[in-house]
Amino acid sequence: MATPIEPGDLVIHVLNVGFGDDILIGLPADDTGKRSYGLVDCKDAEKTRSYLNKLMPNPSERSRLAFICATHPHQDHIKGIKSLLTDSTYRPLEFWDSGFRHNSRTYRGILETLATKDIKMIRVSSGMEWYYGRVRITVLSPSVALRNKYATYGVDMNNASIVLRLEHHSEDVLLMCSREYTGRVSLEAERTAGRSVVILAGDAEFDSWAQISEEYPRLERTSAHDPLVKKMINHLACGVVKVAHHGSMHSAPLDIYEKMKPEVAVVSTEQRVSTKQAAGRTLTRGLFPHQSATIALEECGVRILTTDGSYESQPAQGGSQKDPAMAHPGSIVVVVPSGGTPRWKKLNDGIGDVPDPPTEV
């Protein structure tokens, strides 16, 4: 049964824009009841703007985005960003950039626009954090090691992607963090925090995940009062993952998904098919998502949702099974309550349609 979206919920809107990413983040409302929004990548500015208008139907409620994050400068991730940087209503307060410089006209236009607007540009790297009340956003990638190789060792653009970890807590994150230095830390709460975590993976591929695994390993932590009790701290544990690189064969290896153990995996994509001739046979396979990615996710018992409806799978006894009821295109809205199980709803919009945001999920 659907449950109303509460002002205190973290809400992730993965818009159906075809082959590309366009992700709106609805941050929990402040004390006045106002909800702020961030945007991770933008392929379709008009759909994003129109959807924001529907999220905030009262013009007096509309305000600048908290941030726009361009995970990396591929066209399917940044095509619509310049339009929003110049938007009189939604122009962001901050622009987050991976630092991978690209000579495309689109990316150059973004940099030229930033130079003339009152927007703070931040070149992010792993370990950086932002605090929005009860939400902490941590950058998992790119690491400084990858950034230093951009111009010299040929780190490709996908592996330069910004990967974000969003944690939703039941109290202000800064107040919660202040207790870490007094010994009043709940290890059990820390261990189970993954249910209220969202990882947005951009187009990160194997080089990126290798660095993330090195910098954010699974750790054992003991209590000062009971050193014999060990709790596993896993920074990659999450309830929701936006699958990297549209679910390609290079998106993430199985061991990464085993560390994540998400309940919901969202693939923003428009399926493309490869046909090859081999040994007198015609081999046909989908590329986005690729079979290797869907098998890895199903091995971990994950519900798979795609914006194009090409691969919908749900956990079942003894494995996974297809979900034909969800095999249609549509934006995907995921609600992440603090300390609770994520809920999701798939809308019915095509690439050129602007759906009504749900009030319950």
Q: In order of start, what are the domains of the chain with their CATH numbers?
A: 10-346 (3.60.15.10)
**First vs last Cα of the chain: how many Å apart?**
8
Q: What is the pTM of this model?
A: 0.93
What residue has token string 């963090």? 177
Pairing of strands 94-97, 120-123: parallel
**C-alpha–C-alpha distance, residues 130 and 132, integer Å:** 7
Q: What is the pLDDT of residue 183?
A: 60
**C-alpha–C-alpha distance, residues 345 and 214, integer Å:** 34
Token readout for 288 is 């986005």
Q: Does 284 score more than 70 pLDDT?
A: no
Length of the chain measured in residues: 361
Sheet of strand 10-14: strand arrangement: 120-123, 94-97, 67-70, 37-42, 22-26, 10-14, 332-336, 343-346
- Residues above pLDDT 70, as percent of the chain: 89
Q: What is the pLDDT of residue 77?
A: 98
**C-alpha–C-alpha distance, residues 284 and 295, integer Å:** 17
Q: Which of 198-207, 316-325, 339-348 has the lowest mean pLDDT?
A: 316-325
**C-alpha–C-alpha distance, residues 169 and 336, integer Å:** 10
